[in-house]
A and B are shown apart, each in its own frame.
Chain A
């Protein structure tokens, strides 16, 4: 037991079997073992989550998509700096092994923090050594640029997968756009999420370099019926009508890429999903000077309860036909909920999983705050693009927001024990 594989000492109590298994390097079994071996909560997160709980890494789909949205996120987009496909594969294998361990609450490598002796460089950076799994998930995606021919993948790019078009009003900073590979790490503890990204980036030195990075300090969406709807930086509940983990039919229809979507060389993507990321700067200072009535009219919901205008409760049906006492539609024609609603977009829905951010200041006396919008969908061109076109053209919110970053990534299906991220793509 001197290997000290657990980065959380409390796991060692009564978890000997699990730890021995992990120490022996039984790839892919940590999560299951840890889940069985650590029933005692190590503490609770800000939202009352059981921090000792680990989210299984392996499965049909990647974790971190329909997983009930954790409180914190660290997202990073990377450029691949080598042309050597074998080196890329080697890194993805190493990443997978490290992520298996970290999501189970273990160090990135066995004995990673202090087990390498006084003269070795620690293989794990150590800041999560004493922390529980904290619901960590690590999700990866491949950008369209990865299929540009450097790695012989151009024929494997799914037809529906391309860079997003420009939208009206975009104010994109090239330094916050695109990337060959993305890592989304979510956890109930920000330190655990950052630790995961940091260690994967480190493993990747020589193969990838960081292109841009985004921290999210609070979830805005609920992705499970077990969760309350969280609020965004405008103070409104965000994502009430989200696709939920419990709705298998909706996930099939709107989130998971189906085999028929990706025939031939693109078949590796079946069971995957497309991740759309948009960094939306919110001019919160201006918004905060807006009357409650105007705020509610712009969003189309009440601020307190989150009910659709004209209704009483948050989960009441959104009724676009309903009129107010003045004879005007209760939900204005340019209200955000109206434009973004499936009823007005030929049934299109997304699984939203965004996070609030505040990145210091804009240098002229304001906070650089907003929403890091993340959505998962079966086809970004058919789902996200029409929705964003509608919003970009008319949304009353546009006066208060600016899209400053944009990217789309193809998240491959889940990893089976012994396998690695992107195996079907790169084998």
Chain B
């Protein structure tokens, strides 16, 4: 987080009134055929059935391999329609995904959470939803993104709870391993999270930017304890406060009402976060886990763009194509720095590697910055 208030993202003029809630339907489960089992190993991604009816589709993913795995359902331009991450070996996770439009989609397992994954084709059948106007598409985008924020908020609360428990029980090594992962959902919805006044600096303030009169608390205080100073007498108290603050902010984030322009500005703000805090190695100065935050900010940006995608495609298909091409180039660059289930420490990057990431990030940002203008047209 940075001291500059990002509240403008949320405070922006409400351009689009509350459009009727006509979201992607609440169709019944596809033909009563139940959950689709996915068996993931380190080399294979077996999807039990590769066809389902439009509506809510349920996947049950079992990791039978030795690496941490992920499972995705992807749409056009690798738009993430649904995902389940951090499936440790032996674990089975279930998730639901709403698919309103019939068509051809892609399933992908990512053993080791890297690369483009082991992919397969997936067909969704049924009749197309009625053609929607652009305004309806924008309303749907907001609904979709609000659901994303809510989902990430839940995940943030869960993971923070786990992290706090580890800190309080003095399990330093395990806490260190969970630290970048626990922060992930926060980073994904950072512009939204940052909009709640004092909660942001209390949860994510860095030592040098804590305002006068505020104590140094939150994730980065615990980061310093875990990596540099060792656990302190008040570490448990700080951990409790973190969980309380996160609980507070999660409730607010889940209730937030957004507009399409805020999605557009938020997607850019996430990249700005990367450019000013992560690519410089400032955010996680004790743990050097900045690339995790880079990745999470970037995912958050993609989620906002994906929500806006149907409307953007209608108004400016060339921009969508340009964004996708540059996303792809940045993906390749970032993937080079993945390790099994995570990322290299920032300190392991050479100056040339930081430069390459910056160059590819600039290319993405310059295009994503145009989205607001298109949305506001």
Q: Which residues of A contact B (CB under 8 A)?
A: 81, 116-121, 202, 205-207, 209
A209 to chain B, nearest CB (A): 4
* Interface flags, B305-323, vs A, CB<8A=1, else 0: 0000000000000000010
CA distance A209 to B360 in the complex (A): 9
In the assembled complex, which residues on chain B have CB atoms less than 8 Å from the CB atom of A202?
A: 366
Chain B residues, CB < 8 A from A81: 359-360, 363
Docked Cα-Cα span, A36 to B274, in Å, equals: 48
Known: A119-B261, A121-B369, A121-B370. A205 touches B362 (CB 8 A): yes
| B326–A119 CB distance below 8 A | no
Q: Give the distance in Å from the alpha carbon of A191 to the alpha carbon of B360 in the complex.
A: 28
User: In the complex, are the beta carbons of A120 and B366 less than 8 A apart?
Assistant: no
9 closest pairs, A vs B, by CB?
A120-B373, A206-B363, A119-B376, A205-B366, A209-B359, A121-B369, A205-B362, A205-B363, A119-B372
Judge whether B373 and A121 touch: CB under 8 Å.
yes
In the complex formed, the residue of B with least CB distance to A205 is: B366
Say whether chain A's binding surface is mostly helix, strand, loop, or mixed. Answer: loop
Interface 1/0 per residue, B349-377 and A, CB below 8 Å: 00000010001101111110110110110
Smallest beta-carbon distance A112→chain B, Å? 13
Question: What is the distance, in angstroms, from A407's C-beta to the closest C-beta of chain B?
Answer: 19
CA distance A344 to B341 in the complex (A): 68
Nearest CB in chain B to that of A203: its residue: B366
Smallest Cβ distance from A118 to chain B, in angstroms?
Answer: 8
List of A residues within 8 angstroms of B370 by Cβ: 120-121
Give the complex CA separation of A313 and B329 in angstroms.
61
User: B376 near A117 (CB under 8 angstroms)?
Assistant: yes
* Assembled-state Cα–Cα distance A121/B272 (Å): 14
Our pick among B355, B362, B369, B376 for the contact of A206 (Cβ within 8 Å) is B362
Instruction: Tell me the complex Cα distance, A121–B376, Å.
Output: 11
Question: Which residue of A has the minimal Cβ distance to B376?
Answer: A119
Contact partners of B373 in chain A: CB under 8 A? 116-117, 119-121
A residues within 8 A CB of B376? 117-120
A118 to B359, CA, bound (A): 27
Min Cβ gap A212→B in Å is 12
Cβ contacts under 8 Å, B365 to chain A: 205
A201 to chain B, nearest CB (A): 10
Contacts of B362 in A (CB 8 A): 205-206, 209
Against A, the Cβ 8 Å flags (1 = close, 0 = not) of B187-203 are 00000000000000000
List 7 other contacts, CB 8 Å, given A119-B261, A206-B362, A207-B363: A81-B360, A81-B363, A117-B373, A118-B376, A206-B322, A206-B363, A206-B364
A118 surroundings in chain B (CB, below 8 A): 376
Q: Can you name 17 A-B pairs with beta carbons within 8 Å?
A: A116-B373, A117-B373, A118-B376, A119-B372, A119-B373, A120-B370, A121-B370, A121-B372, A202-B366, A205-B362, A205-B365, A206-B326, A206-B363, A207-B363, A209-B355, A209-B359, A209-B362
Q: Which residues of A contact B364 (CB under 8 A)?
A: 206
Q: A81-B359, A119-B261 are in contact. Are A206 and B375 (CB under 8 A)?
A: no
Min CB–CB distance A413 → chain B (angstroms): 30
Which among A117, A119, A207, A209 has the greatest number of chain B C-beta atoms within 10 A?
A: A119
Across-interface contacts of B375 in A (CB, < 8 A): 119
Which B residues lie within 8 Å of A207 (CB)? 363
Which of B329, B363, B372 is close to A120, meaning CB atoms less than 8 Å apart? B372
- Kindly list chain B residues whose C-beta atoms are within 8 Å of the C-beta of A209: 355, 359, 362
Give Cα distance in the complex from A206 to B369, angstroms.
13
Q: Please report the C-alpha to C-alpha distance between residue A207 and residue B367 in the assembled complex, in whole angstroms.
A: 12
Distance in Å: Cβ of A312 to nearest Cβ of chain B? 55
A206 touches B367 (CB 8 A): yes
Taking the closest CB of chain B, its distance from the CB of A18, in whole angstroms, is 28
Residues of B within 8 A of A119 (CB): 15, 261, 372-373, 375-376
Query: Which residues of B have CB within 8 Å of A205?
Result: 362-363, 365-366
In the bound complex, how far is the Cα of B367 from the Cα of A240, in angstroms?
48
Smallest CB-CB separation from B369: which chain A residue?
A121
**B:3-17 near A, CB below 8 Å:** 15
Chain B, residues 205-235, CB within 8 Å of chain A (1/0): the string is 0000000000000000000000000000000
- Enumerate chain B residues within 8 angstroms of A120, measured Cβ to Cβ: 370, 372-373, 376
